[in-house]
Amino acid sequence: MNQKIREAALGAGIPLIGFCTPQIDTRTKNAFQNWLETGMHADMAYLHKTRNTRRVIEEFLPGQKSVIICGFPYPAVESKHVVSYALINDYHALLHEKLETFCLYLTKAFSGIKTKVFIDTLPVLEKVYASKAGLGCIGKNTLLLSKKYGSRLFLGGIMTDLEIEHDGPEKWDPCGSCRKCIDACPTRALDAYVLDARKCISYHTIENKGEIPEDITEKMGEMVYGCGICEKVCPWNNKNTVVPGWDVYEDLANADVETLKILAGESFKKHFGKTPVYHSGKRVFLRNIVIAVANKARQ
């Protein structure tokens, strides 16, 4: 049955797939709780509000027996100002479409089963399930690392009451003594396997809707959306793997900060509406551009 499901996933455009139980081990639950209690989630109050649901996802689908976790690789796009995944078409719609197509197959092949699609719009610890199902291992940069695709993966999946033979986690250490991500982080937001969002440039340029602290703005350089340094320096991302199926917005990737400011001022929705940048909003994006322009002037 597992092989049949894997083949159907490939047919739906899903290259990575694994199976695991919905239960999360006590150690992981406690680590997540401790991370919240120390305030490392910064102002992302939704993480604290949904903490119990994230640790017990069976509430989303009563009778749930399995999680089908899926990985969607995306291409590396070079830019001095915007992180790679924001220079392609918005992943939410694409992932949802492929997972819904996959769900249609499952409900036809296994009559009477219940399913529920999830991506990062639902409070689910996707990386935990991906690691548990053998899609990769979580690295010191706190990201899932795949041997083939590195950390450039979007994650989503399907909860189901179908009983599937579960995969086990991969037994390899992706990092060893390597500390490249920790040492390269300009704000020292990383410790091994722990991210402090209060210091993270990605958090501040995407999630933080208020004023960014001066000790962070000084280290942002000319980045206006995301950061990605901990991914760029990771040896697992030094691969030229071809990843088809995405629209790459080269005009945005090649634009300087002044051009990005003009484009956002002309029509934010027109130029950024099909990218993840749009979700953070025009005001936040322009705030980041003002900081980038000031940093550039100081160089």
Cβ neighbourhood burial of 33 (10 Å; 0-12, 13-18, 19+) = middle
167 catalytic, yes or no? no
Cβ neighbourhood burial of 28 (10 Å; 0-12, 13-18, 19+) = middle
Instruction: Give the distance from CA 156 to its chain's centroid.
Output: 10
**DSSP assigned state of 210:** S
What is the rounded (10 degree) CA torsion for 67, 58, 98, 109?
70
Please identify which of the residues 120, 173, 191, 251 carries the catalytic annotation. 120
How far apart, in Å, are the Cα atoms of 26 and each of 32, 76, 240, 245? 10, 35, 38, 38
Of 266, 259, 293, 294, nearest to 282 by C-alpha is 266
Of 247, 203, 241, 294, nearest to 86 by C-alpha is 247
Q: Enumerate residues 6+ apart whose C-beta is below 8 A from 176.
A: none
How far apart, in Å, are the Cα atoms of 287 and each of 8, 46, 187, 210, 260? 45, 23, 19, 9, 12
Q: What span, in angstroms and rounded, lies between the C-alpha atoms of 292 and 103?
A: 43
Locate 285 and state its tokens.
């994006």
Per DSSP (E only), the strands in the chain are 16-20, 66-73, 115-118, 137-138, 144-145, 153-160, 190-191, 194-195
Which residues does the annotation mark as catalytic?
Answer: 120
